[in-house]
Amino acid sequence: MAPKKKKTPKAAPSKIHGVINGAGEVVEQPIVSTIRENFMPYAMSVILSRAIPEIDGFKPSHRKLLYTMYNMGLLKGSRTKSANIVGATMKLNPHGDAAIYDTMVRLSRGYEALLHPYVDSKGNFGKFYSRDMAWAASRYTEAKLAPICNELFRDIDKDTVDFVDNYDNTMKEPTLLPTVFPSVLVNSNTGIAVGMASNICSFNLKEICETTAAIIRDPAHDVKSTLPAPDFTGGCQIIYDEKVIDQVYETGRGSIRLRAKYQYDKSANCIDVLSIPATTTCEVIIEKIIDLVKQGKVKEISDVRDETGIDGLKITIDLKRGANPDALMAKLFKLTTLEDSYACNFNVLIGGVPMVLGVKALLEEWIAFRMECVKRRTYFDRQKKADRLHLLEGLAKILLDIDKAIKIIRETDEEVEVVPNLMIGFGIDKIQAEYVAEIKLRHLNREYILKRTQDIEQLKKDIQELDDILKSKARIKTIIVRELKEIAEKYGQPRRSMIIYEDTAQYTEEAEAVPDYPCTFFFTKEGYFKKITPQSLRMSGAHKLKDGDEITQEIEFSNNCDLLFFSDKAQVYKAKASDFADTKTSVLGDYVAAKLGMDEGENAVYMVATKDYKGMLLFAFENGKAAKVPLEAYATKTNRKKLTGAYSDKSPLIGMLWTAEDKEVLFTASSGRMLLVHTGALALKTTRSTQGVAVMKLKKGHRLFCIDAYKEGGFAKPQRYRTRSLPALGALPSNEDKTDKQLSIL
């Protein structure tokens, strides 16, 4: 056998003077021009041709689907398989059958996402309020256009909107639909483009039509008087906040709070949730409730399950005996998406330009669009009548001498000469002559011609009427108002979402019965905490502490209070005294950092006990500054367990004090100098993270060492350590004050 030839390894591509071997020429291009030439066209395409709805309320994918169904005769005919619709739509929207079918599902009656669905569906189309309830494949379901689509396509064949070629120039499709009502606000619409998004909530059809008509009559109309709030298909409650509604109506942006509706079944001791916010799903709510029960945050629930069926959405929550349903729901509203926010962003393409508009501005744009549609429709009708009149006027001239017309046709030798000869014989134009020449022989009688020509006067009146409409904006607006009234009467429905107000939406959550009794709190230097009752304290001996540890704070208070633990990382952790078990002096106590879940390496350095958050905190820093902050700055309406920015971290904290009122405080520097300062001389700061004001002047290489509350009699001559102005250097201790009795610390 011949020896095998060894393969020679290929040389790696090398770049020589802008050329890579085997790859071609390398062209350097600035990143700015790359983005401008490549990314920007893509971004504009997504914004203009995919994600943002236009003034008719539809994205291109919606419009292509509905127009295909209209062309298929599904406005009046029977339903057809969804797969047929999807296949036909691909002639206009070649983005895959899955995307088209998903679009149709979201427009369908079965999916229940729209107040007024555009697709009359049959079969399993899923539900918008369920994440896991998948819809059936397109070969199993059927669909047609809903009756309200008559108002989307009304007069579309009368040149009311422009038509353009489809992607392969084989068909025409409308750029907009001539909607007779403001569909852009009637049904919700969401889209995410590149660099911008759109999220339009739905409004009640009847209220929108009344509001639009009112704006046409009076441009200064108050929108809120006829359009109180949005309306959502799920029927959830809307917590009315006038400021938010005003913001949405004026700017097109704002966050509307939605709340689920529920009822309590006393016989079964369970809560039935019958509607949920449009921004969440049943599965998300149930999973969160189960998680809360496992964590022990909700103890009143014995079981939760999804009982959604033919009758609609239903989440059942079984309660334990003695549980208060209203108090439980108040807790669930806070902790789950049973109460959620709908973020409005009314971003709409107006003339190819994305614009965020308020409700009134959006309706005004729709009115302008609809006026153009009505004007184009009127002009189309006028031209049709004018063409008909022109033909009949030619026919009327033949009425004068029918025999002459027959003679001209009979005596003409060639067919092509018939029309010219009729034009010469009766003084009519080519169009009129063509019409006369096409009349059947049986119709060349006086009766037929008289019947046709008697419409001439009526046509003239109609044309005059249409001309008057074209010249008058007021008459066009009157037509729009009349059509809106008809739509409201024909398709209007009662509101689904109930409006509740802030004062009625607040549930008074019953606090758990916490026994209140006197106790003493002990806090150590190493961060250990003990809660001991007076009886136990009297019977106990010395405190058990870790080696080198000592008690830094001893506070007599009660079991029903808040505890604030300040850490060395400028954070404060809040807890209830009742969260800690009663203990004895013979145990180490609870390690606060572990008990409250502090960050790694974080330690508790100071404790405050309070019920009413009265008094103030004084923070002292190494750089000689001090900050006085009211304790109420740490009060929160919600049960937050951790607050960041508890104090300034610009300079290390050397100590802090809580005091009920202003008093004298002793500042001591590492140089040994002392300064007595009355806290009334320090301004109260409302910002927790304030750096404070300079209190003590420090010599180079020295720092503020400690801060203590001063008790009268602590110094022989306290005036020595006081000052009239701040900052001050302080004074070294006198011989009398160098004794062990020099300080008495509270």
State the CB neighbour count (10 A cutoff) for residue 366.
Answer: 25
Which DSSP state fits 475?
Answer: H
> Rg for the chain (alpha carbons), in Å?
41
Residues 365 and 349: beta-carbon distance below 8 Å: no
Q: Which of 714, 627, 724 is nearest to 666 (CA)?
A: 714
Q: For residue 343, what are the β-bridge partners?
A: 255
What residues contact residue 431 under an 8 Å CB cut-off, 6+ apart?
390, 391, 394
Beta strands 237-240; 499-501: pairing state: parallel
Q: Which of 509, 514, 565 is nearest to 335 (CA)?
A: 509
Q: Which residue has the tokens 């896991």?
A: 132
- What is the DSSP code string of 265-276? ETTTTEEEEEE-
- What is the DSSP code string of 553-578? EEEEEESSSEEEEEETTSEEEEEEGG
Selecting among 118, 129, 140, 634, the annotated active-site residue is: 140
Which DSSP state fits 46?
Answer: H
The kind and range of the H/E element at 669 are strand 664-669
Which DSSP state fits 5?
Answer: P
Residue type, 341: S
How far is Cα 481 from Cα 462, in angstroms, rounded to an integer? 21
Residues 260 and 338: beta-carbon distance below 8 Å: yes
How far is Cα 584 from Cα 457, in angstroms, rounded to an integer? 109
Beta strands 653-659; 616-621: pairing state: antiparallel
What residues contact residue 356 under an 8 Å CB cut-off, 6+ apart?
251, 252, 253, 345, 346, 347, 348
Q: In terms of C-beta density within 10 A (0-12 exposed, 13-18 middle, 19 or more buried), how is residue 154 classed? A: middle
Whether 140 is a known active-site residue: answer yes
How far is Cα 643 from Cα 384, in angstroms, rounded to an integer? 74
Residues 619 and 626: beta-carbon distance below 8 Å: yes
How far is Cα 400 from Cα 446, in angstroms, rounded to an integer? 10
Q: Which of 681, 680, 663 is nearest to 718 (CA)?
A: 663
How far is Cα 496 from Cα 206, in angstroms, rounded to an integer? 12
| Catalytically active residues, by annotation | 140
